[in-house]
Amino acid sequence: MKIAVTYENGEVYQHFGHCKQFKIYDIEKGEVKSSGILDAPGTGHTSAVNFLIEHGVYGLICGSIGAEAKNALNLAFIDVYGGCSGSCDDRINEFLGKKLSFNSDPKCDSCSDGGHSCGGCCGGCC
């Protein structure tokens, strides 16, 4: 099973649709067998979702993510663990220990305070 984490400098990147890299963990028998950092092919949630599908990803750990992206991932049978932050390795270890704290409806903080112009997380970039 493969689990992807939005990645930037070892941390969970907070904007799914803008993610430039993913750390993909190959999990076997409840343990990380290997991991690697892969460059995303572009930006936008359609590109990111297709990238994850092509790499056989089963689950995604991320920060903020919009409704359209979550729907696309759900249609691809990719579980979403949003609203996460901190170290990618720490989050994957929490996932493996069934202790991952996540938000089932994460929103982009930048959208709510006018920090960028993605159009809002219910249909924008994230």
User: What is the rounded average pLDDT for all residues in the chain?
Assistant: 85
Q: How confident is the model at residue 116 (pLDDT cuts 50, 70, 90)?
A: very low
**pTM listed for this prediction:** 0.84
Q: Is pLDDT above 70 for 11?
A: yes
When pLDDT is averaged across residues 106-123 and rounded to a whole number, the result is: 48
The pLDDT of residue 118: 47
SS3 letters across the chain:
CEEEEEEECCEECCEHHHCCEEEEEEEECCEEEEEEEEECCCCCHHHHHHHHHHCCEEEEECCECCHHHHHHHHHCCCEEEECCCCEHHHHHHHHHCCCCCCECCCCCHHHHCCCCCCCCCCCCCC
Q: Is pLDDT above 90 for 39?
A: yes
Q: How confident is the model at residue 46 (pLDDT cuts 50, 70, 90)?
A: confident
Across 10-14, 36-40, 56-60, 103-107, least confident range: 103-107
When pLDDT is averaged across residues 100-123 and rounded to a whole number, the result is: 54
The pLDDT of residue 113: 43
